[in-house]
Structure 1
Amino acid sequence: MSVNRSRAVLSAACLAAIALTLAACGQGKGAGGAGGMGPRGPSPVGVIIARIEPVTLTSELTGRTSAHLISEVRPQVGGIVKARLFQEGGYVRAGQALYQIDAATYQVAYNSAAAGLAQAQAQATAARLKAERYKGLVEINAVSKQDNDDAQAASLTAAANVAAQKAAVDGARINLGYTRVLAPISGRIGKSTVTPGALVTAGQATALATVQDLSKIYVDLTQSSSDMLKLQSALNSGQLGRSGSAQVTLKLEDGSTYPVPGRLEFSDVSVDPTTGSVGLRATFDNPNGVLLPGMYVRAILGKGVANGGMLIPQAAVSRDPKGNATVMVVGAKSLAEPRVVVASQTIGDKWLVTSGLKPGDQVIVEGLQKVRPGAPVKAAVITAPATSAQR
């Protein structure tokens, strides 16, 4: 029995020692805070300093391109096309021969007119010499005055006939020249609608080909009349300053930016009643032929300068349940403070904030996912704009 009693006493002592150890461990965790239940420190965040700066506002309009000059090639005389003298899709110069129409009948007409002119000139010479002789003879009464008058009239009639024959020769020469159809302007020529052997007529409705001058390109744009009125109101009230520039930037269908800036030529003087829009036209130099007629493009136009705006990275702006734009700023005592702002439009990767912020406010742009309203923060000013991935 003494052995069993000794074992019982030893077991009780071990249990007591374990209990004391557990109690000591619990007290150590509560005192030192190693269990993670103590208060957290301020969250590090990246901020930018809000400041007022002049911001050039732009509007993006859609449009189509068209050629600077377009000329449809049509025959001015009829006949059979003997040859096409150009390469379709190539570049032609003004005055270059494009088609040859059979000139045989026009050559005959010219030769006949030239022969008629020669005959008329011979008759005019004879009539003139007779009139000169009769003029001297009538003074000595060698011929009657009536015969002299008839001779003078015949000389004038022969001279008039010469003038008529010269006009006939000029007409025949022009028609003969029209058998070579020339390019009216320099530019790129499209496909031909006729082939050698085709019959063409003067002034026909179908053009033989079309030449387009692509050294410059028009971009026809549309702007709603309501937007135009808002812009004029903002300029007149002083909310916007005039940009002083009519320069236009072009974005192509693939999203790239056309490297050559254009200029705004004019605004239409009337509103389209079916669409409620106003037409605008811009001109772009096209030295490399990148722009082609009919392309869908977007043009960026400067509207004016907002003198009281602040540019805030888009990553810093969020929406509350009511749809209001909000930002988080570093408030008093370095506590995060939500602020409702008015973000009127995006400019690149930033929002234009027109109210809700004061110059010098520290707007949080990095570390927003770790910050709650009223939480302490440790701000560090950054220079690079935050991206959406940093929110």
Structure 2
Amino acid sequence: MALSPLVEPVAQLSAAESARTVRQRRLPQLNELGQRRLANARVLVLGAGGLGSPALIYLAAAGVGTIGIVDSDDVEPSNLQRQIVHGTQDVGRPKVVSAAESIAAIAPEATVVQHAERLTADNAAAIIGGYDVVIDGTDNFPTRFVVNDVCAALGLPLVWASVLRFDAQLSVFWATPPKGSGLAGVHLRDLFPNPPADGEVPNCAEAGVLGALCGQVGSLMATEAIKLIAGIGTPLIGRILVIDALSGRFSEVPLIGTGVAAADPRPAPADPEPVPDWPQLTATELAGRLAARESGGDPFLVVDVREPGEHAESAVPGAVLLPLARLLTEEGRATLPTDVPLVLHCHQGSRAQTAATALHRAGFAGLSLLTGGIVAWDAAVAAGTAPGEGSKWAAAEPHPARS
């Protein structure tokens, strides 16, 4: 379902804009009117990096009239594998300057606003408030949460994505979508209630990332922004698009908002699906259940939703590794049994919470979480109240996972 356009159209396009966008204006959904809306739109792109680079290029090429760029970094050689808005000649230069020059080479009529500063809680509202839609291409959770909270307070739509290794997630958050749209408000905290602890989620510098996947996702982010501006198509609000580049699979996970912003006078959506308070197991309790299972007690499966590198460093004996990005896909969930309880864990808890919600909505029952994640487990191992990886349970196969 298309929403109302975000902006009014300009009176007419320049001759150069008309010539460059002629193929795009032939799209019946967009046409001349939609193109004139794009020319009047103001889009803020946070980060001129792996996601921001393709988004910036396609926003400029599409005819967006004003493009803001927020980035405080300089171009480094390691950026060039994925940050295609920059070239080797730009190494050592500010990213906002390099990106602005690339935009000018494509769309000289575009107005580019350079915010050569780091976005913080102190300056976010002043920067974001001047735009119609925000594209978040940042690479750290503290900034993402600041951006989300400011966009929610200002009532702005936020195009969000995350990429790591060969996996990606993409969505549109809008805490207060237009009245009459039939959409419930949703934002980042509905997916991640709280930012993960420092070091809990690896970044691209540590884990690696496929540059071509950044190009795919950044282009999709630009597409979502264009749809919102022109009021065409169905935006990714209330849906998480999950991409597994290695298998070439795209899938969706529904995202149900916890409610609308307090300042919004509309009533909350009727009867939202409740999210259970998951049962919690301490490390000592999990060790007891492992011992009971070894002695013939009830079967269950421990599922580690961290990344392979994290699992290799420390793991609960016998745990099955299923990284969160893969668990969010139907193919990934199909590897888990549905007839035994699952105990989920990550580093400290936030990814396990997200995994439990996704499994619950997919029909899984008997879900519980390891309180404190692997951090608590390692502490119990050090204290002698939980078995280490060398225990007899390390190679145990408690239940055959589905193939």
Higher relative contact order (CA 8 A, sep 6+): 1
Select the structure of larger CA radius of gyration.
Answer: 1
TM (norm. structure 1) is 0.18
TM (norm. structure 2) is 0.18
Structure having the larger proportion of residues in strand = 1
